[in-house]
Amino acid sequence: MKYISKFFIFALWLMTVVACDNDKIYFTGPNYVMFADSLLDMPVTENEELLFEVVIGATHTSNVDRSYIVDVDLKRTNAIEGYHFDIISRNVTIKAGERTTKVLLKGYYHHMNVEDSLAVTLCFLGNEDEFTELYNDWTNVRLHKCMPFNIDDYTGNMRMTCTFPFSTSSVTTFLVTTEKKNDSTLIVKSPFDDSHNLTLKFHTAKDDPFDTTIDMTEQIAFTDSYYGEVAMSTIEGVDSYYLPSERAFVLILNVFIPKIGSFGNYYYIFEWVTPEQAEAEKNGISNPY
């Protein structure tokens, strides 16, 4: 989840500019200090040593260090400091000649639930002349518990719910099996016919805890008696994704005949079920295609 920083937007709106010989543009209005964003999303992972940075900026540089105190606005905060999160240091400094600094937050994974809606609002204390509501004198940080990815959570029996390309009037549910190819690749065994599997690549969220997307390159999904080979693939700009807390994933796939044309885009929902649940469902549910 990404938000556009308002730091330079506000500066450009109010600035009176002068151009130097090197064409650089400088802000010549009042001196203000602000949070770079008014809304942030903070991932909280099992690695509780991973710190979250909240950027603070100034409209002007200074020839001396400038120190500020960051506090919690309790009226707009429901996360509990010392239990859900901590501020590593309330005292921050913008060094001489610089325009930015940051305050660091630490989240506590084991004190949160995935479904929690927790947030902390940060504000400044003191130096009132340097702050204004127009310039983000507070920021709201939403805390999200991000569960780790494990490909084994998606192997075994899955309940698949979908509409089919040639019969979209009703939703169909049946059981499929999956197996691991490697730590980030899953194979869905014969979801449409006995001759074709689907191979899925999961993003493992190592670099971005919010990245829970799935890629499926173009591949033949089934053979139709009339149309022949029908292919499927994930869609650029439309995320297919997994839900670690639910042991489920959702594929949004383009269904098409290679080099001829597309039937459209369809949702395919997969939910992991226990062996006992699968056995109970097997007798009454089978692949309808």
Predicted confidence pLDDT, tens digits, the chain (289 residues): 443 444 444 444 334 333 344 454 444 556 788 899 999 999 999 998 899 999 999 988 999 999 999 999 999 999 999 999 999 999 999 999 999 999 999 999 999 999 999 999 999 986 666 666 666 689 999 999 999 999 999 999 999 999 887 666 678 889 999 999 999 999 999 999 999 999 999 999 888 999 999 999 999 999 998 889 999 999 999 999 999 999 999 999 999 999 899 999 999 999 999 998 888 887 555 454 4
Q: State the pairing for strand pair 138-145/39-44.
A: parallel
Enumerate residues 6+ apart whose C-beta is below 8 A from 119.
Answer: 76, 77, 78, 79, 140, 141, 142, 143
> In terms of domains, do 41 and 22 share one?
yes
Among the candidates 145, 167, 201, a domain finishes at 145
Residue type, 17: V
Q: Is residue 222 part of a domain?
A: yes
Q: pLDDT value at position 7?
A: 41
> In terms of domains, do 99 and 190 share one?
no
> In terms of domains, do 137 and 172 share one?
no
Q: pLDDT value at position 23?
A: 52
Enumerate residues 6+ apart whose C-beta is below 8 A from 106.
Answer: 48, 51, 52, 85, 86, 88
Which residue range forms the structural domain that includes residue 67? 7-145
The DSSP output letter for 277 is H
Q: Is residue 2 part of a domain?
A: no
Q: Is residue 287 part of a domain?
A: no
Among the candidates 103, 122, 145, a domain finishes at 145
> In terms of domains, do 101 and 171 share one?
no
Q: pLDDT value at position 130?
A: 67
Name the burial class of residue 262, with classes exposed (0-12), middle (13-18) and buried (19+) by CB atoms within 10 angstroms of its CB.
exposed
> In terms of domains, do 203 and 234 share one?
yes
> In terms of domains, do 263 and 155 share one?
yes
Q: Is residue 100 part of a domain?
A: yes
Among the candidates 123, 145, 167, a domain finishes at 145
Q: pLDDT value at position 125?
A: 85
Q: pLDDT value at position 281?
A: 80
> In terms of domains, do 130 and 79 share one?
yes
C-alpha to C-alpha distance for 124 and 15, rounded to whole angstroms: 23
> In terms of domains, do 211 and 259 share one?
yes
Neighbours of 17 (CB within 10 A): 11
Q: Residue 235 sits in a domain of what CATH number?
A: 2.40.128
C-alpha to C-alpha distance for 201 and 180, rounded to whole angstroms: 11
Cβ atoms 162, 59 nearer than 8 A: no
Q: pLDDT value at position 8?
A: 42
Q: Is residue 37 part of a domain?
A: yes
Q: pLDDT value at position 289?
A: 47
Q: pLDDT value at position 31?
A: 76
Q: Is residue 169 part of a domain?
A: yes
Q: pLDDT value at position 168?
A: 60
Q: pLDDT value at position 25?
A: 46
